[in-house]
Structure 1
Amino acid sequence: MAVSLLAYEVSDLCLGKPALRSLPVSATVGDALSALKRSGENHLSVWSCDHSLKAKIDFDDCRCIGKICMVDVVCYLCREENLSCPSTALKSPVSVLLPKIPGLVKHVEPHSSLFEAIDLILEGAQNLVVPIQSRISSNSRKKLLQKSSFGPTLHNGHEFCWLTQEDVIRFLLSSIGLFSPIPAFSIESLGIIGTEILSIGYHDPASAALDAISRALTEQISVAVVDEFGKLIGEISPFTLACCDETAASAIATLSAGDLMAYIDCGGPPEDIVRVVKARLNERNLEGMLELLEEFSISSTSSSSSDDEFSSRSARYSRSGSYSARMVRRSEAIVCHPGSSLVAVMIQALAHRVNYVWVIEDDCSLAGIVTFSDMLKVFQEHLQSMA
């Protein structure tokens, strides 16, 4: 019976998950940018405490207060007041990158039930922070706590991990037979196709989607790129943007939505589009952004093979040469149809590492979107009826 899943605790879903890499809230945007590049992680946790030698630590207030990724940095640099002087923007406190929406990150105890975790997610939590057993020795623990740089993973003597919507959905999929026959029902019959979507026209300025990109990041969805007839062409995905570098801000500021898709696509921006970006930065006298783009291009080119075009493009697009090790995908949207079954859509989303799937009609017109939150509501209602 599906009710047997209620016996599971969140610690059961955390087995094998890596410890969080962290930043203190005292860090700057530039610190966050450097940490993202060095860590090879797409997201970093931000904590209210500072574990540097000079900091006075209040362990009662040592909590994760949010998470950041490259998209937060890019969107911040895209603000009108920051485009002209990105070097100044990078000196701002990292707190400016945190969403003002409360409750996106929640601390939970390892013994909390799976049902409690689902409730918190449906109430708006995007990440649950769970303490895990430390794999660090006592000597290493002391050294780690004494580091003056940002990035200790120990807080109150513990390591922590994220528990996400994807983790819960993946866990439920492993026991999907317990929910029969619901998984075989179509998403249309279950009433979980959302019609409030974020979209932008293919030829519209990408900058017009800036607020939508920020909202999509917070809601863990994406921005649909459509033609004049409302047909889905592609998407501007925060997931893909998170694998870019800070120079993506110049692309958002100067390109159309369609060209931006090509710029952030797998393999790196085409040279002709890079030239367009530079020319438009010149036209707008955005010298700071142009210098940032030129510096990045020069440093990347010097570390790339001059006779290997693909290697050169990949290096310019990657962070610290780690692009090939990242999960990246193209700007082609992941789609299904209203008649697709719930389990098929679950598998599709998990396979592509996204929290949503676009729903299209036979003529490719956009009908809506199905998210992990929508799916969790179905399972929650079923579990409640069985409890």
Structure 2
Amino acid sequence: MAVSFLGHELSDLCLGKPALRSLPVSATVADAVSALKRSGKSYVSVWTCEHSSKKKTTGFAGDDDDDCRCIGKVCMVDVLCFLCREENLKSPSKALESPVSDVLPKVPGLVKHLEPNSSLLEAIDCILEGAQNLVLPIQSHTNTKSRKKVLNKPNSFRSTHHNGREFCWLTQEDVIRFLLNSIGVFSPIPTFTIESLNIIDMDTMAVHYHEPASTALASISRALTEQTSVAVIDEDNRLIGEISPITLACCDESVAAAITTLSAGDLMAYIDCGGPPEDLVQLVKMMLEEKNLGAMLELMEEFSVSSLSSSSSSGSSDEECGWSSKHGGSGRYSLARTSEAIVCYPRSSLVAVMIQALTHRRNYIWVVEDDYSLVGIVTFAGMLKVFRSITGPRRKPE
């Protein structure tokens, strides 16, 4: 029964999924930042399109859109890591005018196009091969004329109407949620402990509480690619908190200044729910002056002024980040913005950890001992390996 369940078509998982919003590959980093803020979403997809008038739309991803592909996605974490590069610190405004392709992760296979009749098993294989998102075409009843008007706007942030069609994407979370809804099919495996299933990954990324946050930049970038996080630990390897890409994705570009100047512990407080404490804001400004990073200071102050001016009129929120202008210092407030680490224990059951991760909208859960010493991490990808093992060896990557 479990094997047949994994034969479900992906169209079953696409029901109710919203159409992707996209940017052309010709857009700038500033365009991406603007798109993220206007949409209230954590990510924006980036597309390259070379339409051919001789092709005929058939409704499947492999036909007329071979030359119209999603080549990646950009979130604020990509922008922050880009701005924190040594060559961009002294001129962040110039860096924001760089092509958006400069901030796209240089890891192949993060985005994979599939067709609606592809199976759940195929999707799981793609994820285990490294795909973050699976792009699928969806039915659209949007008026064609109105679509063309949007497409004619240069560098516009728009729905992904490609050759008259829209697309959505499926995430690891979508797949795990779908599996959980029919978890009884896989009994008794979901009741086994994560330790007995050997899915605790001990190759974790961590930074000590008092270390400079900038030393964790490479780990933050890797965590974004692997959809995990960076643990913040004390001298006894106890988990204090985390620097999570999920949290950073709900911040603004001025947080690059905090990453550049603060310790890991102070950065957790700076990006935590409610906005940065005023004493840390002043500390960042003082340290920017000491480092002779006046341009970064100007960007930070310019954003603060912009946030204050918009706080009286902005009240929108987003299902992913919950952005709004509740805090004048950062212009945003989010229930998703918390540096508190979500933990489980080696004896926790697989189904319990699945529920915990989905409840907190995390792709991972930290594993600790009773004294909070860090053991490792359990990810959605690790969970999917368990369900995939039921059907035997995986297919060879293309």
Asked if these proteins are the same fold (TM beyond 0.5), I'd say yes
1:103 aligns with 2:116: no
Give identity over the alignment, percent. 70
Q: 1:29-178 to 2 correspondence within 5 Å? A: 29-49=29-49, 60-152=66-158, 153-178=160-185
Mark the runs of 5 or more structure 2 residues left unpaired by the alignment.
Answer: 52-63, 313-323, 394-398
C-alpha distance in 2 between matches for 1:202 and 1:154: 46
Query: Partner amino acid for 2:349?
Result: S
Give the whole-Å Cα distance in 2 for the aligned partners of 1:264 and 1:197. 22
Aligned to 2:396: none
Contact 2:23–2:155 (Cα < 8 Å) also in 1: no
Query: Residues of 1 paired with 2:233 and 2:196: CA distance?
Result: 26
Deviations 1:279-333 (A, max 9, x none): 000111101100011111122223447xxxxx97624324xxxx45x65141000
Divergent runs of 4+, >4 A: none
Aligned partners of 2:122, 2:311: CA distance in 1, in Å? 49
Question: Is the alpha carbon distance of 1:166 and 1:272 closer, same or farther for their aligned partners in structure 2, counting shifts above 3 Å?
Answer: same
1:350 counterpart residue number: 358
Q: Does 1:12 align with 2:18?
A: no
Alignment deviations for residues 180-215 of structure 1 (CA, whole Å, 9 cap, x no partner): 111000000000000000000000000000000000
Once residues 190 and 385 of structure 2 are traced to their aligned partners in structure 1, the CA distance between those partners, rounded to angstroms, is: 13
1:367 aligns with 2:375: yes
* 1:188 corresponds to 2:201: no
Q: Bigger CA drift: 131-140 or 115-124?
A: 131-140
Equivalent position of 2:306 in the other structure:
299
Task: Using the TM superposition, give the Cα deviation of residue 145 of structure 1 relative to its aligned residue in structure 2, in angstroms.
Answer: 2.6
Residue 100 (structure 1) shift = 1.0
Using the alignment, how far apart are the partners of 1:304 and 1:5 within structure 2? 49
Please name the residue that 2:60 is paired with: none
Secondary structure at the counterpart of residue 124 of structure 2: helix
1:109/1:59 CA distance change after superposition, 3 Å: closer
Q: Counterpart amino acid of 2:330? A: Y
CA distance in 1, matches of 2:308, 2:152: 37
In structure 2, the residue matched to 1:22 is: 22
Q: Which residue of 1 aligns with 2:338?
A: 330
Aligned residues of 2:248 and 2:337 also touching (Cα < 8 A): no
Alignment of 1:160-309 (within 5 A): 160-304=167-311
Which residue in the other structure is 2:319 paired with?
A: none
Aligned-partner SS, 2:365: strand
C-alpha spacing 1:316/1:134, structure 2 compared with 1 (3 Å):
farther
Task: Summarize deviations over 1:332-384 as a string: whole Å, max 9, x none.
Answer: 00000000000000000000001000000011100000000000000011244
Q: Secondary structure at the match of 1:190?
A: coil
Compared with structure 1, are the counterparts of its residues 9 and 312 closer, same or farther at alpha carbon in structure 2 (3 Å cutoff)?
closer
| C-alpha RMSD of matched pairs (Å) | 1.7
Cα distance in 1 between the residues matched to 2:106 and 2:311:
40
Q: Structure 1 residue 34: deviation in Å?
A: 1.1
Alpha-carbon distance, 1:38 to partner: 1.2
Note if contact 1:359-1:368 (Cα within 8 Å) is conserved in structure 2: yes
Q: Go from structure 1 to structure 2 and tell me whether the alpha carbon gap of 1:45 and 1:229 turns closer, same or farther (over 3 Å shift).
A: same
**1:354 match: secondary structure:** coil
Q: Which residue, out of 330, 341, 344, partners 1:317?
A: 330
Measured in 2, the distance between the counterparts of 1:296 and 1:145 equals: 30
Kept in 1, the 8 Å contact 2:144–2:164? The answer is no
Q: 1:135 to 1:317 in 2, by over 3 A?
A: farther
Stretches of structure 1 lacking an aligned partner (at least 5 in a row): 52-57, 306-310
**Cα pair 2:27 2:155 within 8 Å, conserved:** no
Q: Residue type of the partner of 2:266?
A: D
1:37 CA drift (Å)? 1.1
Q: Tell me the SS of whatever aligns to 1:212.
A: helix
Q: Compute the TM-score of the two structures, normalised by the length of structure 2.
A: 0.89
Q: Aligned equivalents of 2:144 and 2:326: distance in 1? A: 44
Quick one: which amino acid aligns to residue 44 of structure 1? V
SS in 2 for 1:45: strand
Say whether the 8 Å CA contact 1:25–1:50 is kept in structure 2. Answer: no
Deviation, 1:59, is 5.4
Among 357, 366, 376, which residue is 2:384 paired with?
A: 376
The one-letter code of the counterpart of 1:332 is: E
> Aligned to 1:48, what secondary structure does the other structure show?
strand
Q: Is the 8 A contact 1:26 1:50 kept in 2?
A: no
- 1:203-233 Cα offsets, whole Å, 9 max, x none, are 0000000000000000000000000010000
Whether the 8 Å contact between 2:304 and 2:330 is mirrored in structure 1 is no
Kept after mapping to 2: 8 A contact 1:24/1:50: no
Structure 1 position 178, deviation (Å): 0.7
